[in-house]
Amino acid sequence: MALDDRSPSAGHFTRWAVMLALPLVLSAAAMPWVLERLRTERRALAPTLPRAEPDGAALPAAATEPPRHPEAPSTAEIEEARSAEIEAGRLQHRNLAGAVTFSPRGASTTAEGERVAPFQGFGLSIESTPPGAAVRVDGRDVGETPIVTTVDCAPGGEVEVRVEKKGLRPVRRAVRCRADALLELSIALAR
């Protein structure tokens, strides 16, 4: 007797059962994820949904419309602002009309050949060749060249400046104090 090729076999039934049951199993496994997504979306939409009052009346939904841009100024407002700006310019110009501008004076050379610049009090700016020489003013050590230092003396008074470096001959110079001036000295030391 010949087997009928059309008769169902165990393998054939298994395939059909798997194809029918697989979607049910997958949907059951995915269900917690789908429910969590729906809850999250519901929480996100909650502020925009109408709320119910305890007495059952619904409140309007929260406004979610985009922010409004301010209205453009009117022609009258533009003209008023322009007039105010022009008036502010006139007042500023009027206040500056009598103003005097002060600028610092530049250094000048005296008849003795000394360079003097404006300064607060009396000061000395001393450079030497070679640099790094010790500077003493009226016997007080003030540092090494190049140096800018203030000197406490009365205008017209005389101070002695001594510049010395080991191995070179010291140089002494007597200078007169000036009011509000910086005296610039350039001293060359020799052997």
DSSP string, 45-102: HGGGSPPBPTTSPBPPPPP-SPPPPPPPPPHHHHHHHHHHHHHHHHHHHHHHTT----
**H or E segment at 125?**
strand 122-129
Residue 151 has a CB neighbour count (10 Å cut-off) of: 18
Per-residue pLDDT at 78? 83
Question: What CATH architecture applies to the domain 113-188?
Answer: Sandwich (2.60)
Is residue 6 classed as helix, strand or coil in its secondary structure?
Answer: coil
Is residue 114 classed as helix, strand or coil in its secondary structure?
Answer: coil
Per-residue pLDDT at 61? 52
Residue 11 has a CB neighbour count (10 Å cut-off) of: 8
| 8 A C-beta contact, residue 190 and residue 132 | no
Cα(117)–Cα(107) distance, rounded to whole angstroms? 4
CA angle 87, 90, 96 (to 5 degrees): 145
The length of the chain in residues reads 191
Give the global pTM: 0.45
Per-residue pLDDT at 158? 94
Domain boundaries, the chain: 13-46, 113-188
Per-residue pLDDT at 56? 54
* Mean pLDDT per 10-residue interval, the chain, length 191 residues: 60 78 78 79 60 55 64 82 83 64 69 82 92 94 92 92 95 92 92 86
The distance from CA 162 to its chain's CA centroid, rounded to whole angstroms, is 47
